[in-house]
Amino acid sequence: MRFDIITVLPGLLESPFAHSILQRAQKKGIAEIHIHNLRDYATNKHKSVDDYPYGGGSGMVMSIEPFAACIEKLKAELEYDEVIFMTPDGETLNQRIANQLSVKKNVIILCGHYKGIDQRIRDIYVTRELSIGDYVLSGGELPAAVLVDAVVRLIPGVLSDETSALSDSFQDDMLDAPVYTRPADWNGHTVPKILLSGHAGEIEKWRFEQALERTKTRRPDLLK
């Protein structure tokens, strides 16, 4: 799977993609992540990519020309399944969306800044708008990194234990059950006996009941 991320701050994305699961996915050739500096597509002397908003008001708006030039160049070379804009007013990212995107081949992600991007980019090029929560960040780079991480770990071959992702929270519209590891007794705090019993069927039943109870308590909205 290939991701092309368009940003004015490419350095901000270097670390998230250079470690752990995302690094391994790239080394295995399962995921490709390409970062494009939006300023490379600015044609003015100062390489600026923003301007004052029509109608007045505070803040600056990201200009249409650099985004359009970069997107058009990419689309001339490859066919893309999605052009995603990370924005606070987009659809909230969840596990269902991550699952849907994990079967795509090529995806462009746009990172906004300032007061946002010219609406015409959203109208003409963007196929999906996603948010990672009801709050505003300085730019779309961190949300883009979150999206890529959530999607890549679902691609077959990325995780050493492919069943691990299938049992994550939200996969069955429920939160995950509590988990434990050694030692079985730590300062009088013990692991539930059922997990030490070796009875696979009873353990799965216990995990389901715990997951259901945790979901009812913490996220009852998921059960609707």
Q: Do the domains at 2-152 and 167-223 have one common CATH topology? A: no
pLDDT greater at residue 214 or residue 168 = 214
Task: Say what the pTM is.
Answer: 0.91
| Those residues with Cβ within 8 angstroms of residue 144's Cβ, 6 or more apart along the chain or in another chain | 5, 7, 13, 86, 109, 111
Domain 2-152: give its CATH superfamily: SPOUT methyltransferase, trefoil knot domain (3.40.1280.10)
Tell me if 52 is assigned to a ligand binding site.
Answer: no
Tell me if 148 is assigned to a ligand binding site.
Answer: no
Determine the pLDDT at residue 133: 97
State whether CATH 1.10.3210.10 applies to domain 167-223: no
- State how far the Cα of 122 lies from the Cα of 221, in Å rounded to an integer: 30
Q: pLDDT tens across 48-92, in order?
A: 999 999 999 999 999 999 999 999 999 999 999 999 999 999 999
Q: Are 144 and 132 in contact (CB under 8 A)?
A: no
Q: pLDDT tens across 210-222, in order?
A: 999 999 999 999 9
Of 72-76, 122-126, 162-166, 168-172, minimum mean pLDDT range: 162-166
Tell me if 168 is assigned to a ligand binding site.
Answer: no
Tell me if 124 is assigned to a ligand binding site.
Answer: no
Determine the pLDDT at residue 161: 72
pLDDT at 163 over 60: no
- State how far the Cα of 113 lies from the Cα of 37, in Å rounded to an integer: 13
**Burial class (CB within 10 angstroms; exposed 0-12, middle 13-18, buried 19+) of 44:** exposed
Q: pLDDT tens across 3-56, in order?
A: 999 999 999 999 999 999 999 999 999 999 999 999 999 998 899 999 999 999
- State how far the Cα of 22 lies from the Cα of 146, in Å rounded to an integer: 11
Tell me if 133 is assigned to a ligand binding site.
Answer: yes
- State how far the Cα of 206 lies from the Cα of 148, in Å rounded to an integer: 33
Tell me if 157 is assigned to a ligand binding site.
Answer: no
Q: Where are the domains of the chain?
A: 2-152, 167-223
Q: Which two tokens stand for residue 117?
A: 């991007």
Q: Are 131 and 91 in contact (CB under 8 A)?
A: yes
Tell me if 134 is assigned to a ligand binding site.
Answer: yes
Mean pLDDT score of the chain, rounded to an integer? 95
Determine the pLDDT at residue 173: 86
Q: pLDDT tens across 176-204, in order?
A: 999 999 999 999 999 999 999 999 999 99
Amino acid (one-letter) located at 88? P
H-only helix segments in 28-83: 64-77
pLDDT at 2 over 90: yes
